[in-house]
Amino acid sequence: MSKTTADTTTDTTPDRAAEDQDLSAAGSQLSTAPVEGPPNLPSLGVIGWLRWFWRQLTSMRVALLLLLLLALGAIPGSLIPQSGVDATKVSDFRDKNPTLGDIYDKLGLFHVYSSVWFSAIYILLFVSLIGCIVPRTWQFVGQLRSRPPGAPKRLTRLPAYTTWRTEAEPEQVREAALALLKKRRFRAHLTGDAVAAEKGYLREIGNLAFHIALIVMLVAFAWGQLFKSEGNKLVVEGDGFSNTLISYDDFKSGNLFSTDDLTPFSFTLDNFTGTYETSGPNKGTPRTYQATLDYSEGAYGKEKKTLVKVNHPLEIGDSKVYLTAHGYAPVMTVRDGKGKVVYSDAVPLLPLDSNVTSSGVVKVLDGYKNAKGVSEQLGFQAFFLPTYTKGNEVASTFPALLNPVLNLQAYHGDLGVNSGIPQSVYQLDKSHMKQFKNSTGGDLRENLKPGETMKLPNGAGSITYEATKEWANFQVTQQPGSGWALGGALTAIFGLAGSLFIQRRRVWVRATPSADGVTVVEMAGLGRSESAKVPEELGDLAGILYDRAPGAPDPDDGPTEPSEPTDHAEPPQAPEPAEPSISPDPVATAEGAENQ
Amino acid sequence: MTLAAATDLAAAANENLANISNTLIYSSMAVYTLAFFAYIAEWLLGSRSKVGRTAAALTSKTQAKAPAVTVKNAGGTAVLERPQVVVRSAAGTRDVPDGPGAHGGDEQGDLYGRIAISLTVLAFLVEFGGVLTRALSVERAPWGNMYEFNITFSTVAVGVYLTLLALKKNVRWLGLFLITTVLLDLGLAVTVLYTASDQLVPALHSYWLYIHVSTAIFCGAVFYVGAVSTILYLFRDSYENKLATGGTPGKFANSVLDRLPAAASLDKFSYRVNAAVFPLWTFTIIAGAIWAGDAWGRYWGWDPKETWSFITWVAYACYLHARATAGWKGRKAAYLALIAFGCWLFNYYGVNIFVSGKHSYAGV
Ligand code: HEM
């Protein structure tokens, strides 16, 4: 570009300058991209500064810079542990690198995607985007309402050009050209001695739709974050769940969420099924992993059966119920010295590894009296191996229930649950508990198989491992706005395809009488970007028009067409003689000016 | 026959297929190696065009004044029946003819080039067979671990190249560069990344696997083709710059770069290729988000893999924007395209190997 401008400034004949202006009018408004000038200094005053700032923010250059920053800013979050993804990793990292941890904390690097600076980048980008789209849309509407600019004086200077001489009358040629272009779905009209036509507006529509869709996606995503909720519930086979806040084990929600928003439904876990690879390098990897639920929608809905699997959540309204984890819940019965049952329940244990080695506790809070008849509390530390292999006492060797063994240790005393400090149901506070001893004076600790009982010493009672149930953990999420996000995403893809695959281009056909009585037809094409398609299409159009206005014999004084396809031929000279007699096309300049 | 015996039999059949697959992959590597040598022969025997077209185009005095015009036939063979379209490049762009290709007009070079392409076709078929038998042996799409990604990836990249050739696009110059990296890719696959064929973890049991992973691999292969031509564009562009400013390029540049297409053609080719797959890459990410929504309970969680596909996407968007922004066209945009492909590569190798996340199926 710079080269031509330099050229024109060195030989500034008025002719040449006018011609360049004429040409740029022909190419003007071929897209709605903002016009770029050098970043000149603002005029004085607050308004001047604001206007300058706004113009910078909405320029392509700054949009590009912000996009680059967005990409760069996203990187640290993928390399540094994020509290939103894995909080334990973050605290591990902090423990290992205290100083670095502090610095990261200050910079928000443990929650990059909600940090101030990352938000600043994308908010600026989207402000820039809106500031870019609005004027572009108006401009595009203006372009649709006006007509394609008229033909520039010298069509030879356009990227694709062809010409021939015909006996047909100029009017006939122009009419034929107009009909042909309209038939090819060009927006065409007659201006002066030429037909001006344009096609490919879908490119602009696609591009605008794509950028607008990006905004829709962002808004939908933000909306979803504000109103979303996410809760977890561990359910043992046979137990039920109803979707109310108090039913959850833990619950998170967005800032604007209210409990009334919870979709009413309930379900019972009928059965969990897990099967696992039995051999090979991936031994123990789950193969089937599914839960059968009986669920009902609303408060009194009809009960229905469904299967929830890893890729198949249960969808009810805005809510989705995911199966996220599973484990075992041994059924245990505790009796006092007199044989009275004081506790009997399935106790969910938490998995420690991929072979579901699990641990947990049983707490007998009330109803138990010891051998002396005094009320006491009991606690059991449980350790469970679904597949016990001799010689491997501390870890299960397979995730399925092949040879389950439950290891128990028993405590008595005060569980400390009334002290007011919240306690985990999976941990035992042993500060006021004493461990039962066995006959040799060591700690009482036994491995039980299903059906077996461990006796507590001195008539203190017993605990029986009856059977094993399975439990499943369900995550219930509710995220409004995902429909909008999906709609935005689809629009973005189609808009993008339209924007990248469709070429916006103009075609001009000029027909003028020449000195020797025949008509000179000139055709030229111009695309938004240089493309092989434009000359191809022009060739097609010219071929058809040529059939309707066949060639006349060449005059002897000069070749109309370059006869040999050489690599570096001079531009054809033929149209030149015809030109001077025609006045500069007033329509072209007027149109160009109107659109600016 | 008992159930156990039946499963054993099936397992044995699968093991057989897996072995056939391995043999086919090794055979394809052997054939690719032959193709590699044939390409080398094409470059060695082929000579730089006798006329030195690039130099001629860039140094002749008349050229600088009047931008060149190339004449093309439009509308088929009936030259005399139809008017010819005169094509003129935009003002300010260098007008340089494309190089003659690796063979440089040398007959023997051309012969070796053709042999190389035939061998590439053969190797492609063999490798395709390897991927197919691998898929049959595991009874699923062969995209469960990095070994499988790698063998599919190179098959698709070569497939894209051969398809472009079949469509009569001017891409023969890609051959040597492509096959070299295909050999590297396969070498990594069979040594470092090899994983015995096996079933998938439940999270991968979904038709989204077919949609999301197949488009991801395809996009990668096409981005790769785009990146190769971008690199060649950068070399060729500095070569042309040197000639245009009166410098004398080195012997190597003169011999190799002169035979490549013009910088403008390479640039346009890489733009086309990148722009063409960008919507598909957008789709890949969105499909991944939908799948993540079903599998993990959230559409987007900034998992490292997700983050890096987003970064890759933004980087390619930067590239497309740069081309529409004054002052960023040409070399600067090309650097952005390479950075974007670097992000893709890191997402593929780097994230799988160095960063742990939910997408831990790499099998390494
Ligand atoms: C959210 C971030 C954005 C993304 C991901 C994005 C992406 C894209 C893509 C992929 C294209 C297609 C390129 C082409 O047609 O060749 C494009 C074109 C365009 N974008 Fe953006 N864009 C973003 C923000 C912006 C902003 C803030 C502006 C305003 C300054 C802008 C202005 C444009 C314009 C004017 C075009 C058309 C260029 C032309 O006519 O060739 N974009 N954008």
pLDDT in tens, A377-432: 999 999 999 999 888 888 898 999 999 999 999 999 888 877 666 677 788 888 88
| Residues of chain A contacting residue B311, judged by C-beta atoms under 8 Å apart | 71, 74-75, 78
Asked whether residue A557 carries a pLDDT value surpassing 60, the answer given is no
Averaged pLDDT, B125-137: 91
pLDDT band at A521 (very low <50, low <70, confident <90, very high): very high
Give CA–CA dist A479/A229, Å, rounded.
Answer: 7
Give the distance (Å) from ligand 1 centre to CA of residue B325: 10
Give CA–CA dist A325/A476, Å, rounded.
Answer: 13
| Residues of chain B contacting residue A60, judged by C-beta atoms under 8 Å apart | 321, 324-326
Give CA–CA dist A12/A8, Å, rounded.
Answer: 6
Give CA–CA dist A323/A330, Å, rounded.
Answer: 20
pLDDT of residue B244: 83
- Three-state DSSP at A461 gives strand
Asked whether residue A3 carries a pLDDT value surpassing 50, the answer given is no
Residue of B nearest to A289 (CA): B202
Residue owning the nearest CA to atom 6 of ligand 1: B317
Highest-confidence segment of A2-6, A170-174, A429-433: A170-174
pLDDT in tens, A453-477: 999 988 889 999 999 999 999 999 8
H helices of chain B, where?
A: 3-45, 53-59, 61-65, 107-138, 146-166, 175-191, 207-208, 214-244, 251-256, 263-296, 304-323, 331-345, 351-354
pLDDT band at B257 (very low <50, low <70, confident <90, very high): confident
Give the phi and the psi of residue A453 in degrees, each rounded to 5: -125, 140
Contact at CB, B318 and A542, closer than 8 angstroms: no
Give the distance (Å) from ligand 1 centre to CA of residue A496: 10
Contact at CB, B276 and A572, closer than 8 angstroms: no
pLDDT of residue A572: 41
Contact at CB, B196 and A281, closer than 8 angstroms: yes
Averaged pLDDT, A35-47: 68
Contact at CB, B302 and A113, closer than 8 angstroms: yes
Q: Which atom of ligand 1 lies at the shortest distance from residue A136's CA?
A: 35
Rounded to a whole number of angstroms, the distance from the CA of B37 to the nearest CA of chain A is 34
Averaged pLDDT score across all residues of chain A: 83
Averaged pLDDT, A525-533: 80
CA distances (Å), origin B288, targets A209, A381, B303, B306: 22, 43, 12, 8
> A115-124, A195-204, B77-86: which has the minimum mean pLDDT?
B77-86
Contact at CB, B74 and A285, closer than 8 angstroms: no
Contact at CB, B86 and A489, closer than 8 angstroms: no
Nearest to A567 among B66, B97, B310 (CB): B97
Share of chain A above pLDDT 70, in %: 87
Rounded to a whole number of angstroms, the distance from the CA of A536 to the nearest CA of chain B is 6
pLDDT of residue A575: 38
Give CA–CA dist B69/B75, Å, rounded.
Answer: 19
> A22-31, A188-197, B129-138: which has the minimum mean pLDDT?
A22-31
Averaged pLDDT, A486-515: 92
Q: What is the largest CA-CA distance in chain A?
A: 132
Give CA–CA dist A380/B127, Å, rounded.
Answer: 60
pLDDT in tens, B220-242: 999 999 999 999 999 999 988 88
CB count in 10 Å sphere of residue B41: 19
Q: Within an 8 Å CB–CB cutoff, is residue A27 touching chain B? A: no
pLDDT of residue B49: 55
Q: Ligand 1: list residues with CB < 6 Å.
A: A 31, 33, 58, 60, 63, 67, 125, 128-129, 132, 207, 211, 214, 496, 499-500; B 317, 320-321, 324
Asked whether residue A591 carries a pLDDT value surpassing 80, the answer given is no
Contact at CB, A162 and B83, closer than 8 angstroms: yes
Give the distance (Å) from ligand 1 centre to CA of residue A213: 12
Asked whether residue B362 carries a pLDDT value surpassing 60, the answer given is no
Averaged pLDDT, A482-497: 93
> A277-281, A352-356, B210-214: which has the minimum mean pLDDT?
A277-281
Contact at CB, A1 and B282, closer than 8 angstroms: no
Positive or negative, the CA dihedral A396, A399, A405, A406 is: positive
Higher pLDDT, A39 or A44: A44
pLDDT of residue A561: 45
Q: Which atom of ligand 1 lies at the shortest distance from residue A132's CA?
A: 29
Q: What is the largest CA-CA distance in chain B?
A: 87
CB count in 10 Å sphere of residue A337: 17
Averaged pLDDT, A522-533: 83
Residue owning the nearest CA to atom 20 of ligand 1: B321
Contact at CB, B85 and A538, closer than 8 angstroms: yes
Task: Provide the terminal-to-terminal Cα distance of chain A, rounded to the nearest Å.
Answer: 21
Contact at CB, A565 and B303, closer than 8 angstroms: no
pLDDT band at A49 (very low <50, low <70, confident <90, very high): confident
Averaged pLDDT, A185-210: 93
CA distances (Å), origin B310, targets A109, A355, A464: 18, 35, 55
Nearest to A79 among B291, B320, B355 (CB): B355
pLDDT of residue A562: 43
Averaged pLDDT, B197-210: 68
Complete DSSP assignment for A209-272: HHHHHHHHHHHHHHHHHHH-EEEEEEEETT-EEESSGGG-SEEEE-TT--GGGSPPEEEEEEEE
Q: Which atom of ligand 1 lies at the shortest distance from residue A214's CA?
A: 1
CA distances (Å), origin A54, targets A31, A130, A133, B326: 21, 11, 13, 19
Asked whether residue A586 carries a pLDDT value surpassing 70, the answer given is no
Positive or negative, the CA dihedral B51, B55, B59, B64 is: positive
Q: Read off the pTM.
A: 0.81
Nearest to B85 among A482, A535, A564 (CB): A535
Length of chain B: 364
Tokens coding B212:
């999301």
Residue owning the nearest CA to atom 29 of ligand 1: A132
pLDDT of residue A117: 92
Element (H, E) at A502: none
Q: Are A28 and A590 in contact (CB under 8 A)?
A: no
Give CA–CA dist A131/A414, Å, rounded.
Answer: 67
Rounded to a whole number of angstroms, the distance from the CA of A104 to the nearest CA of chain B is 18
pLDDT in tens, A295-307: 998 877 788 899 9
Q: Please, what is the Cα angle at B287 between B284 and B291, to 5 degrees?
A: 135
Buried-state track B112-147, b at ≥16 Cβ within 10 A, e below 16:
bbebbbebbbbbbebbbbbbbbbbbbbebbbbbbbb
For chains A and B, count residue pairs whose Cβ atoms are closer than 8 Å. 219
Give the phi and the psi of residue A389 in degrees, each rounded to 5: -120, 135
pLDDT of residue A208: 95
Asked whether residue B363 carries a pLDDT value surpassing 60, the answer given is no
Give CA–CA dist A523/B342, Å, rounded.
Answer: 44
Buried-state track A326-336, b at ≥16 Cβ within 10 A, e below 16:
bbbbbbbebbb
Q: Give this complex's ipTM.
A: 0.85
* Burial group, residue A373, by CB count within 10 angstroms (0-12, 13-18, 19+): exposed
Higher pLDDT, A370 or A126: A126
Q: Please, what is the Cα angle at B2 between B1 and B5, to 5 degrees?
A: 85
Q: Which atom of ligand 1 lies at the shortest distance from residue B323's CA?
A: 16
Averaged pLDDT, A358-385: 90
Averaged pLDDT, A331-353: 92
Asked whether residue A588 carries a pLDDT value surpassing 90, the answer given is no
Asked whether residue B4 carries a pLDDT value surpassing 70, the answer given is no
Q: Within an 8 Å CB–CB cutoff, is residue A89 touching chain B? A: no
Residues 6+ apart with CB under 8 A from A31: A204, A504, A528
pLDDT of residue A489: 94
Asked whether residue B72 carries a pLDDT value surpassing 80, the answer given is no
pLDDT in tens, A420-445: 666 777 888 888 888 998 888 888 99
Give the distance (Å) from ligand 1 centre to CA of residue A444: 72
Give CA–CA dist A79/A112, Å, rounded.
Answer: 11
Asked whether residue A282 carries a pLDDT value surpassing 80, the answer given is no
pLDDT in tens, A78-123: 888 888 777 788 888 888 888 888 888 888 888 888 889 999 999 9
| Residues of chain A contacting residue B290, judged by C-beta atoms under 8 Å apart | 486
Buried-state track B47-80, b at ≥16 Cβ within 10 A, e below 16:
bbbeeebbbbbbeeeebeeebbbbbeebbeeeee
CB count in 10 Å sphere of residue A204: 24
Tokens coding B29:
């590597």
**Where do we find the tokens 């006996």?**
A167
